[in-house]
Amino acid sequence: MSDVKAVNIHIAPGDTRPIFKQIVDGIRMQIACGNLPVGAKLPSVRGLAMQLTINANTVAKAYTELTSQGLVEARQGLGLFVSQPRQQLNVEEQQKRLGDAVQAFVNDVAYLDFSAEQMIEKVSVALNQLATNKENETGNHD
């Protein structure tokens, strides 16, 4: 049986996203970075709720969302595990989501006093870090 993998996410009280969405986003990022590899067992609903000091129903809602997105799968009597990645979105939907994410980012940072070049640099650094984490996890160093 797999050991439960630690989920390193933090809930930000001032965040405009609901708590369950913060959990979903945090676990998605942990999976994308390779910190939660395929087959990793997630903490139980109660366990993660205790870790984050939040209501178990909130964690259950986040886990349901992650399951519906195909990122995790429930194994009867064993718990929740990170799924094998599979692309469920067609190219059109991927483009739409990318556009939505870019627009949300622009809306969030429009009032900040940064140049476009500074913001692009920050995004580039974050994407490079994500790629580096993935390479380190998989051992691929193209």
CB atoms within 10 A of CB 43: 19
* pLDDT value at residue 97: 83
Of residues 132 and 142, the one with the higher pLDDT is 132
Tell me how many domains the chain contains: 2
Are the beta carbons of 42 and 36 closer than 8 angstroms? yes
Q: 137 pLDDT exceeds 60?
A: no
Cα 141 from Cα 16, distance rounded (Å): 37
31 domain residue, yes or no:
yes
Q: Write out pLDDT tens, residues 23-65.
A: 999 999 888 888 899 999 999 999 999 999 999 999 999 999 9
Same domain, 27 and 75: yes
8 domain residue, yes or no:
no
How is residue 126 annotated by DSSP? H
14 domain residue, yes or no:
no
**pTM for the predicted model, two decimal places:** 0.71
Structural domain range at position 62: 19-82
pLDDT mean over 100-109: 88
Q: Write out pLDDT tens, residues 66-85.
A: 999 889 999 999 999 999 87
